[in-house]
Amino acid sequence: TDGPFLSPHPHRGNRNEPAHVRYIVDKISEIKGMPPGIIADQTTANAASLFMWEQEFD
């Protein structure tokens, strides 16, 4: 990840890793009052747009 030493709670003090993205999705979901799946779909769509990916993700 971009912040190898900025792990989300409950992994503070450990090296960050991509598997921890789910904690970020959960927090955004809580703040926005939206289901985690919607957040995941939107962030994937944002990345696809940014990187001009043409393939669809399930």
Is residue 39 assigned to a domain?
yes
Beta-carbon contacts of 56 under 8 Å, excluding residues fewer than 6 positions away, are: none
Examine residue 42 and state whether it is found in any structural domain, yes or no.
Answer: yes
Considering the domain boundaries, does residue 7 fall inside one? yes
- Asked if residue 58 belongs to a domain, the reply is no
pLDDT digits (tens, 9 = 90+) for 8-54: 888 888 888 888 889 989 999 999 999 999 999 999 999 999 999 87
43, 25 contact by CB (below 8 A): yes
pLDDT at 5 over 90: no
Domain hosting residue 35, numbered range = 1-53
Indicate whether 6 pLDDT > 60: yes
Residue 34 lies in a domain: yes
Number of domains, the chain: 1
- Position 24 in a domain: yes
Residue 1 pLDDT: 47
